[in-house]
Amino acid sequence: MSALLWLLIALPLGAGAVLGVAGRAAGRAAPAVAVAVAAAVLGLAVAVAVGRPAARAPLFAGMPARMAVDGLSAVLVVTVAAVTLCVLVFAAGECGAGENRGRFFGLMLLFAGAMLVTVTARTLPLLLMAWEAMGATSWALIGHWWRGPRRVRAADTAFLTTRAADLGLYLAAGAALAGGVGSLELDALPRAASPWLEVTVAGVVAAALGKSAQLPFSFWLSRAMEGPSPVSALLHSATMVAAGAYLLLRAHPLLAAVGWAGPLVAWLGAGTALALGLVAVAQRDLKQLLAASTAAQVGFMVLAAGSGGTAAGTAQLVAHAATKSGLFLAAGVWLNTLGTRQLPELTGAARARPLVGAAFAVGALTLAGLPPLSLWAAKDTVLAAARTESTGLYVLGLAAAAVAAVYSVKAIRYVTGAPPQPGPPPGRGPGTGARRGGGGRDGAPEGGGLGVLVPLWVLTGAAAVAGVLALPGPAAWLRGLTGDAAGRPPSVPEWAVSTGVVCAAAGWAWWRAPRPGRARPAPARWAADWLGLERAAHLLLVRPVFGLARALAAFDDRVVDGAVRQTGRCGLAVARLARRLDDGGIDAAVRALAAGARRLGHWARRPQTGLLHQYYAQAAVGFAVLVLIALWVR
């Protein structure tokens, strides 16, 4: 049975690697292979969800790589595989011959494969490996059209922001080992000794918040919109952002082990749900609106995880994955055929292509949380879990739900509204730089062929009906599946209140006509700019780091290397001094000695004249001197 589990991860990772290496050479075969692999993966996912296998392999000393499928993993494995299949079928119809299809589909499979490892990993090293590999592939996917400098910068922003948060997992691994959890099993982490337990929890929470684009990391999700629509559809639904929420749901016992973690996570989730909901309301770009709504909806999952509502968070995750991937695919069709994603330019887009428009409308109504669609039910279970935690959280969540209705209805109003000029459907707008890079336009028939409509409607259908997971019977089953003992279904008054609030908000948003020409007040501009989070990160982190780097580089050249050069120069100066000493001192003395000796020799030569009478005279003088000395001495 564990062979199935190995196959589940080896198949997408292996096929993805092969396709990615083949690149353009894979050509027409790439989409077909990718879809076939995704279909097989879905089959395997269902099989492991039923069979619940486990597998292990040695990794580091005392730290095996262990995978297992429990209830929570089973739900996620199937969700990931299903959404991946739908998105790849869509992309196969959309990705034209001008693209490097081998690279694109290969990376998509790698991305999905990394998510599958993430949700089945039971030990921290394996989880971290998949977690980081997912981040790296997201970089390559967001920057798929690499000729646009903006897109590449966006990919860099996304990767660096998520990696900054990922450092938390490295920290958590070290802290868990220090706290005595030598195996780094996820289930054993709560047993780490204090104060390492606190560090572990903080690291896990930071990594999860970063991956799921919660405050204050949300801005990378806005930049990630630069990627192709299928990438957004996958990244925003069942992978990447979902991974953060999944980790928090998985780590519930860990959060419970320290008092502050649950409330912190819950409040951050609720805060993100509200703040990013307002950001979504302020957007005029459809993909940006959807991106902000992703962060807000994931906020509900995080809220659930912090409040202990594992089942509620899981239901929200599944419902949102289906909803959001469908919405992004519909937006992708419009972006592809109309060349714009600006809401005013998309006015009436749904009327021109009714099947796509209807799917979008159903998806957006689900996103709004209107009954009886899936997110309506899921959100109520989340709110019920929040209410058991604190009334403040509940009120905040309720407000966020109302805001969700407002931004969703805003999007519907635009795309279903009457086109500005009667007659032809909206023309190709001036565009916003959102046009596709390559000649990929020819792959998608106008209005979407079956390859586009089938995955779109499958996802939309799932989005509509996934709410059954929140009905009393299935909800109890899901709670049993995810081991959520404390969860409870929402009470009737809670249903009534939240439904009333959401319907009222939706009605108000519908009634209040959008007035695109009007100048916006400062708070709205601030929200439209994603609360200025990216600028703040640049101002507070990026720029100081680059300044420090330049200063240190100058320091390295002038001071550190300067000291070395100065040492060398000192050595030369000492050598020169030694030379002078040597030439002018020692050698001069030697030379003086030699000169003296020569002079002595010169004098000694003087008497040797070779004349006999002079020798006699010298001998006589010498003898006289000797006699005198002898006399004087006596």
Partner 1 sequence: MLSVLTFLPLLVCVLLLALPGSLPDRWCTWTWVATAAVDLALVAVLWAGFEPGGGMQAEQRMRWIPGAGVGYHVGVDGLSLPLLALTCLLFLAAAGYSLRGTRATRAYVCLFLFLQTVCLGVFVALDLILFFVFFDLSIVGMYFVIAGWGHGERARAAALKFFLYTFTGSLALLLGFIGLYLAAEPHTFDLVDLARARPLAGRGGYAALVLLALGVGLAVKTPTVPFHTWLPPAHTEAPAAGSAVLAGVLLKMGTYGFLRIAMPLLPGSWRRYALAIAVVGAVSVVYGALVALAQTDFKRMIAYTSVNHMGYIVLAVGAAGTLAGTDVQARSLAVTGAVVQMVSHGLITGALFLLTGVLYRRGRTYAMDAWSGLAAHTPRFAAVTAVAAFAAVGIPGFSGFVAEFQILTGSLASQAVATAVALLGLLLTAALFLRALRTMFLGTPRLPGSVPVGGPGDLDAREAVPTVTLLAVALVIGVAPRFLLDVVEPAGRTVAELVAR
Which is closer to partner 1, CB of 556 or CB of 587? 556
Closer residue to partner 1, CB minimum distance, 3 or 554? 554
Distance of CA 58 to the CA centre of its chain: 28
**Shortest Å distance, C-beta 203 to partner 1:** 10
C-alpha span between 111 and 130 (Å, rounded):
9
Q: Of 62, 354, 445, 544, which lies in the binding site for partner 1, with binding defined by CB under 8 A? A: 62
At 55 the three-state DSSP class reads strand
Torsion of CA 109, 110, 115, 117, to 10 degrees: 110
Between 531 and 550, how does the x/- string for binding to partner 1 read (CB under 8 A)? --------------xx-xxx
Residue with tokens 């953060």: 244
Q: In the bound complex, what is the minimum distance in angstroms from residue 208's beta carbon to partner 1?
A: 17
Beta carbons within 10 angstroms of residue 198's beta carbon? 16
Strand partners, 185: 123
How far is residue 319's CA from residue 533's CA, in Å, rounded to a whole number?
28
As a whole number of angstroms, the distance between CA 246 and CA 301 comes to 9
How far apart are alpha carbons 533 and 592 in whole angstroms?
Answer: 83
Provide, rounded to whole angstroms, the least separation between the CB of residue 102 and partner 1. 11
Query: What residues between 548 and 607 interact with partner 1 by CB under 8 A?
Result: 548-550, 552-553, 556, 560-561, 563-564, 568
- Which single residue is written with the structure tokens 């694109």? 104
Choose between 100 and 325: whose C-beta lies nearer to partner 1.
100
Site string for partner 1, 66-105 (x = CB under 8 A): ----------------------------------------
What are the distances in angstroms from CA 97 to CA 20, 92, 334, 340, 417? 16, 10, 20, 22, 35
Is residue 28 a contact residue for partner 1 (CB under 8 A)?
no
CB of 340 vs partner 1, minimal distance in Å: 23
**What are the structure tokens assigned to 450, written together?**
């079956």
For partner 1, the binding residues in 290-349 under the rule CB under 8 A are none
Which pair of tokens denotes residue 244? 């953060």
107 vs 241 by CB, closer to partner 1: 107
By CB under 8 A, the count of residues binding partner 1 is 51
| DSSP for 569-633, written as a single string | HHHHHHHHHHHHIIIIIIHHHHHHHHHHHHHHHHHHHTT----HHHHHHHHHHHHHHHHHHHHHH
392 binds partner 1 (CB under 8 A): no
Cβ of residue 15: shortest distance to partner 1, in angstroms?
Answer: 15
At 60 the three-state DSSP class reads: strand
- C-beta of residue 466 within 8 angstroms of C-beta of residue 368: no
Per-position DSSP letters for 444-457, written without gaps between them: SPTT--HHHHHHHH
Q: Does 438 bind partner 1 (CB under 8 A)?
A: no
**Smallest gap, in angstroms, from Cβ of residue 83 to partner 1?**
23
Measured from the CB atom, is 228 or 271 closer to partner 1? 228
Site string for partner 1, 120-139 (x = CB under 8 A): -----x--xxx-xx--x--x
| Minimum distance of partner 1 from residue 21's CB (angstroms) | 9
Binder among 22, 41, 173, 213 for partner 1 (CB under 8 A): 173
Name which of 23 and 532 has its Cβ closer to partner 1.
Answer: 23
Among the listed residues 52, 56, 163, 284, the single contact to partner 1 using CB under 8 A = 163
CB of 321 to partner 1, least distance (A): 24
The rounded distance, in Å, linking the Cα atoms of 179 and 551 is 38
The yes or no reply on residue 58 touching partner 1 (CB under 8 A) is yes
Query: Measured from the CB atom, is 171 or 471 closer to partner 1?
Result: 171
User: C-beta of 253: minimal distance to partner 1 in Å?
Assistant: 21
Report, in Å, the least distance between residue 24 CB and partner 1.
8
Residues 6 or more apart whose CB falls under 8 angstroms from that of 591 comprise none
149 in contact with partner 1 (CB under 8 A): yes
Q: Which one, 167 or 595, has the nearer CB to partner 1?
A: 167
Q: Reply yes or no: is the peptide bond before residue 490 cis, omega within 30 of 0.
A: no
Closer to partner 1 by CB, 14 or 474: give it: 14
- Which CB, 196 or 328, lies closer to partner 1? 196
CB burial string 374-392: b at 16+ within 10 A, e below: bbbbbbbbbbbbbbebeee
At 59, phi and psi to the nearest 5? -125, -80
Catalog residues that contact partner 1 under the rule CB under 8 A.
23, 58-62, 125, 128-130, 132-133, 136, 139-140, 143, 146-149, 152-153, 156, 159-160, 163-164, 167, 170-171, 173-175, 177-178, 182, 184, 196, 545-546, 548-550, 552-553, 556, 560-561, 563-564, 568
